[in-house]
């Protein structure tokens, strides 16, 4: 076989090949680097290509234009509401603040446009240079979908849905017992027991509706949501319920039964017991059980008030640097309803025992008397201030009551303070007075009007101290008591709340006082050397020397007159004056002794608010046609703390019903 040796020309080509490959490789690298560099330069102040919010492409947009685009999409929910349909009935839920007044209003849905834009702009900029380049290439090729940040009050929307479609459902009903007692002797009773048949039920799948709503919100779409029906067939056949009659007679023969705790005793007669019994399916088998709803109501109304005691922390009050008042701690206790029902079920129904021990949980105070001797509290480390000039008498009383409740509270190191929880029950029994607000086009008394003054002052005190804010929501509308705009905080039981963390390493003592029309909260503790700078229209280390940046001022709608029978015919009483809408923002930067820095942005969007007046009439006008079947009119349901909340929150560490 003949072997051809390579020629000199071929040998020369082979020697050049590695160099050619290297040149081509370097050329590719150069082109690649140039392309990446060009993209980074071209998009230095713009969102990178391929970034979308829902189905909206934002690549190439600046933060300002992206915010304008997203705000227009978000406004569609304020404009159109949320629409749900089942068969031939449609219900529309207004997502804007419910009709009331700016100091007592609540938004069901709000988008955090600024945070969403910030998340979009951060794509390709989150890590080190090489990781950012990888993310930029990935985004350019495959795209990056960002979820919008929003607050959704699912509980309120669910309640409105249930009210709107109440006539479309048929509750499932298990068989029930009719029990008649007949005395046959001085101590012997006979019972005639009959079974009332039950029926299957038809309900609507609200869970699926909520999932569909959240999916739409993530896509910034607002189509009609179709509700679907689900059958509720958990019921016991009448024939099987009749088989339980002998068992019921055995249980009633044990009456009266005793419930006891700590030397106290509650005696339950056979009439009450008979209302507690019902047939249920347990693991597929018909079983005689306690009616949890009925017995819960009984325990809550009859027994809990005699047992429940809230744990109280030890307190002290400092005046001029000296302790002037002192209160020792108190252990608390609370009836555990669910465990108590289980105890009664076991004793009475399963073991035929007519004596049951109540389940009571003991709660220890967080601050005990011995702790106060070594708190190290020696100086004021922050102050919250607000002015409530012009407040009516009841509002002033509520502010004073809330301030008194908070006076002397101690926040332990690393504890997250919850304002709503600390205030406790807001009702007449705890010293609060009602105020008239407008709900469902009528005046309704609500307790606790004015407590957002407490929320705003507490928010400012935490800011002044340099503490991390974990939950804060602005009002839906600008309110005179909370100016300047952007530095307010709304609260409502159970939410929204004001929350922050004591990261000073030492206890903080809250001291509250009222001087004229000024509400003042002082935080006492020990300074650790941290410094704060607040960035608004100007920068300052003094919280009260700045005004947040304010823009987008919009005029209010025309005045709204509401007919009422509470005033003389022709008499008019304006409950609210008009307010402009606006957007406000300020930055909060804390520098710690070790040089670390943390910053937060507080962004507030205020809707324009129309003047609202009550007009006395002899007879209310007839409602508009089909108004009863169309829930576009706002409906009110708040009954406690002054509730007003756009729920636009830049803080990620919150505990809201839905945050995406």
pLDDT digits (tens, 9 = 90+) for 361-374: 998 887 776 666 56
Query: Token pair 């090729």 is at which residue?
Result: 141
- Are the CB atoms for 197 and 238 separated by under 8 Å? yes
- pLDDT over 70 at 649, yes or no: no
Query: What's the pLDDT score for residue 421?
Result: 92
- Are the CB atoms for 282 and 336 separated by under 8 Å? no
Please give the angle made by the CA atoms of 441, 443 and 444, to the nearest 5 degrees.
115
Query: What's the pLDDT score for residue 130?
Result: 65
Contacting residues for 259 by C-beta, under 8 A, at least 6 apart: 265, 266, 267, 268, 303, 340, 344, 356, 357, 358
Tokens of 427: 């009702």
Query: What's the pLDDT score for residue 101?
Result: 56
Sort 555 into a burial class: Cβ within 10 Å, 0-12 / 13-18 / 19+: exposed
Query: What's the pLDDT score for residue 97?
Result: 59
Query: What's the pLDDT score for residue 439?
Result: 56
DSSP for residue 309: B
Please state which of the ranges 68-72, 115-119, 412-416, 577-581 shows the lowest mean pLDDT. 577-581
pLDDT level of residue 644 (50, 70, 90 thresholds):
very low
Taking alpha carbons only, the member of 289, 333, 341, 294 closest to residue 310 is: 333
**CA distances, 25 to each of 21, 30, 37, 523, 614 (Å):** 6, 9, 18, 65, 79
DSSP E strands in 2-87: the ranges are 51-53, 56-57, 82-86
Residue 39 backbone phi and psi in degrees, to 5: -65, -45
Partner residues linked to 322 by β-bridges: 319
pLDDT level of residue 334 (50, 70, 90 thresholds):
very high
Please give the angle made by the CA atoms of 226, 228 and 233, to the nearest 5 degrees.
165
57-86: average pLDDT: 90
**CA distances, 224 to each of 84, 162, 204 (Å):** 6, 17, 16
Taking alpha carbons only, the member of 435, 491, 502, 530 closest to residue 645 is: 491
611-636: average pLDDT: 59
- Please compute, for residue 262, the number of CA atoms within 13 A of its CA located in the half-sphere on the CB side: 10
**CA distances, 193 to each of 217, 247, 250, 352 (Å):** 53, 11, 12, 19
pLDDT, greater one: 378 or 500: 500
Q: Please give the Cα distance from 230 to 296 (Å, whole number).
A: 27
Partner residues linked to 583 by β-bridges: 551, 605
What are 410-469's pLDDT values in tens digits? 898 999 999 999 999 888 888 899 876 655 555 567 787 888 999 999 999 999 999 999
- Are the CB atoms for 115 and 490 separated by under 8 Å? no
- pLDDT over 90 at 300, yes or no: yes
pLDDT level of residue 104 (50, 70, 90 thresholds):
low
Residue 429 backbone phi and psi in degrees, to 5: -65, -20
pLDDT, greater one: 97 or 399: 399
Query: What's the pLDDT score for residue 632?
Result: 31
Query: What's the pLDDT score for residue 476?
Result: 84
Tokens of 400: 């004073």
Strongest mean pLDDT among 5-14, 230-239, 462-471: 462-471
- pLDDT over 70 at 99, yes or no: no
- pLDDT over 90 at 323, yes or no: no
- Are the CB atoms for 532 and 466 separated by under 8 Å? yes
DSSP three-state, residue 658 = coil
Tokens of 95: 């997502």
Residue 424 backbone zone (phi > 0: left; psi -120 to 50: alpha; other: beta): left
pLDDT level of residue 628 (50, 70, 90 thresholds):
very low
134-153: average pLDDT: 82
Tokens of 374: 């070594």
32-50: average pLDDT: 73
Reported as type and span, the H/E element at residue 321 is none
Using a pLDDT cut of 70, give the percent of the chain over it.
79
Taking alpha carbons only, the member of 469, 487, 315 closest to residue 406 is: 315
DSSP characters for 151-206?
A: EE-HHHHHHHHHHHTGGG-B--B--EEEEEEEE-SSS-EEEEEEEE--B-EEEE-H
Tokens of 357: 């021990």
Query: What's the pLDDT score for residue 182?
Result: 76
What are 253-281's pLDDT values in tens digits? 898 999 999 889 999 998 899 889 888 87
Bridge-based pairing of strands 51-53 and 144-146 is parallel
Measured torsion, CA atoms of residues 102, 610, 76, 158, in degrees rounded to the nearest 10:
40
155-160: average pLDDT: 88
202-228: average pLDDT: 93
pLDDT level of residue 575 (50, 70, 90 thresholds):
confident
- pLDDT over 60 at 648, yes or no: no
Mean pLDDT of the chain: 82
Query: What's the pLDDT score for residue 478?
Result: 86
Query: What's the pLDDT score for residue 2?
Result: 54
pLDDT, greater one: 28 or 606: 606
pLDDT, greater one: 178 or 385: 385
Please state which of the ranges 142-146, 320-324, 341-345, 584-588 shows the lowest mean pLDDT. 320-324
Query: What's the pLDDT score for residue 636?
Result: 29
Query: What's the pLDDT score for residue 100?
Result: 53
- pLDDT over 70 at 483, yes or no: yes
Query: What's the pLDDT score for residue 365?
Result: 81
Residue 656 backbone zone (phi > 0: left; psi -120 to 50: alpha; other: beta): beta
Query: What's the pLDDT score for residue 371?
Result: 63
Using a pLDDT cut of 90, give the percent of the chain over it.
38
pLDDT, greater one: 539 or 172: 539
Partner residues linked to 512 by β-bridges: 521
Taking alpha carbons only, the member of 130, 120, 133 closest to residue 61 is: 120
CB atoms within 10 A of CB 393: 9
Please state which of the ranges 31-45, 105-119, 397-411 shows the lowest mean pLDDT. 31-45
Query: What's the pLDDT score for residue 164?
Result: 92
pLDDT level of residue 102 (50, 70, 90 thresholds):
low
CB atoms within 10 A of CB 457: 29
Please state which of the ranges 73-77, 470-474, 634-638 shows the lowest mean pLDDT. 634-638
Query: What's the pLDDT score for residue 660?
Result: 36
- pLDDT over 60 at 609, yes or no: yes
- Please compute, for residue 109, the number of CA atoms within 13 A of its CA located in the half-sphere on the CB side: 25
- Please compute, for residue 590, the number of CA atoms within 13 A of its CA located in the half-sphere on the CB side: 18
Query: What's the pLDDT score for residue 297?
Result: 93
Sort 468 into a burial class: Cβ within 10 Å, 0-12 / 13-18 / 19+: middle
Number of DSSP helices (H) and strands (E) in the chain, helices first = 15, 38
């Amino acid at each position: 076989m003949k072997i051809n040796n390579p020629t000199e020309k071929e040998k020369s080509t082979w020697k050049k090949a590695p160099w050619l490959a290297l040149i081509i490789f370097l050329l590719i690298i150069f082109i690649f680097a140039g392309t990446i560099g060009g993209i980074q330069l071209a998009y230095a102040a713009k969102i990178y290509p391929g970034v979308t919010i829902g189905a909206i492409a934002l690549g190439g947009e600046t933060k300002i234009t992206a915010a304008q685009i997203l705000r227009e999409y978000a406004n569609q929910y304020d404009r159109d509401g949320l629409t749900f349909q089942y068969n031939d009935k449609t219900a529309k839920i207004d997502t804007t603040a419910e009709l009331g007044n700016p100091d007592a209003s609540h938004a069901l849905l709000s988008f955090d446009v600024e945070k969403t834009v910030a998340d979009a702009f951060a794509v390709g900029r989150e890590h080190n240079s090489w990781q950012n380049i990888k993310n930029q290439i990935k985004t350019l090729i495959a795209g990056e979908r960002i979820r919008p940040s929003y607050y959704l009050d699912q509980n309120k929307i669910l309640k409105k849905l249930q009210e709107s479609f109440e006539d479309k459902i048929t509750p499932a009903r298990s068989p029930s017992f009719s029990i008649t007692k007949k005395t046959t002797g001085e101590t012997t009773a006979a019972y005639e027991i009959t079974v009332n048949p039950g029926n299957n039920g038809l309900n609507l799948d609200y869970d699926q509706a909520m999932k569909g709503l959240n999916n739409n919100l993530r896509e910034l779409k607002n189509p009609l949501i179709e509700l679907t029906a689900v059958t509720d067939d958990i019921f016991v056949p009448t024939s099987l319920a009749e088989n339980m009659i002998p068992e019921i007679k055995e249980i009633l023969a044990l009456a009266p039964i005793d419930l006891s705790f700590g030397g106290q005793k509650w005696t339950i007669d056979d009439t009450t017991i008979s209302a507690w019994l019902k047939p249920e399916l347990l693991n597929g088998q018909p079983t005689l059980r306690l009616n949890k709803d009925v017995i819960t109501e009984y325990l809550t109304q009859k027994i809990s008030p005699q047992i429940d005691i809230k744990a109280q922390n030890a307190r002290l009050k400092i005046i001029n640097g000296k302790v002037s008042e002192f209160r020792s701690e108190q252990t608390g206790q609370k009836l555990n309803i669910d465990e108590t029902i289980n105890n009664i079920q076991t004793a009475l129904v399963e073991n035929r025992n007519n004596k049951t021990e109540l389940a009571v949980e003991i709660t220890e105070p967080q601050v005990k008397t011995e702790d106060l001797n070594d708190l190290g509290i020696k100086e004021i480390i922050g102050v919250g201030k607000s002015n409530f000039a012009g407040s009516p008498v009841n509002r002033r009383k509520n502010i004073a009551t809330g301030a008194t409740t908070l006076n002397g509270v101690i926040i332990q190191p690393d504890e997250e303070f919850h304002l709503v929880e600390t205030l406790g029950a807001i009702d007449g029994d705890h010293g609060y007075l009602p105020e008239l607000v407008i709900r469902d086009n009528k005046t309704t008394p609500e307790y606790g009007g004015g407590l957002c003054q407490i929320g705003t002052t507490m928010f400012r005190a935490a800011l002044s101290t340099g503490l991390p804010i974990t939950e804060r929501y602005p009002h839906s509308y600008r309110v005179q008591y909370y100016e300047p705009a952007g530095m307010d905080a709304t609260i409502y039981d159970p939410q929204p709340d004001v929350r922050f963390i004591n990261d000073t390493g030492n206890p903080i003592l809250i001291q509250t006082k009222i001087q004229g029309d000024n509400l003042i909260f002082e935080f006492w503790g020990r300074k650790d050397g941290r410094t704060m700078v607040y960035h608004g229209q100007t920068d300052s280390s003094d919280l009260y020397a700045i005004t947040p940046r304010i823009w987008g001022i919009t005029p209010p709608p025309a005045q709204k007159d509401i007919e009422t029978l509470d005033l003389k015919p022709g008499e008019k009483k304006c409950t609210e004056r008009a307010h402009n809408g606006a957007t406000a923002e300020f930055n909060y930067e804390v520098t710690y002794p070790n040089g670390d820095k943390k910053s937060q942005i507080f962004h507030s969007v205020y809707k324009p608010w129309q003047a609202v007046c009550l007009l006395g009439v002899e007879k209310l006008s007839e409602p508009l046609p089909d108004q009863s079947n169309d829930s576009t009119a706002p409906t009110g349901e708040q009954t406690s703390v002054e509730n007003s909340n756009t729920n636009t929150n830049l803080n990620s560490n919150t505990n809201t019903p839905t945050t995406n």
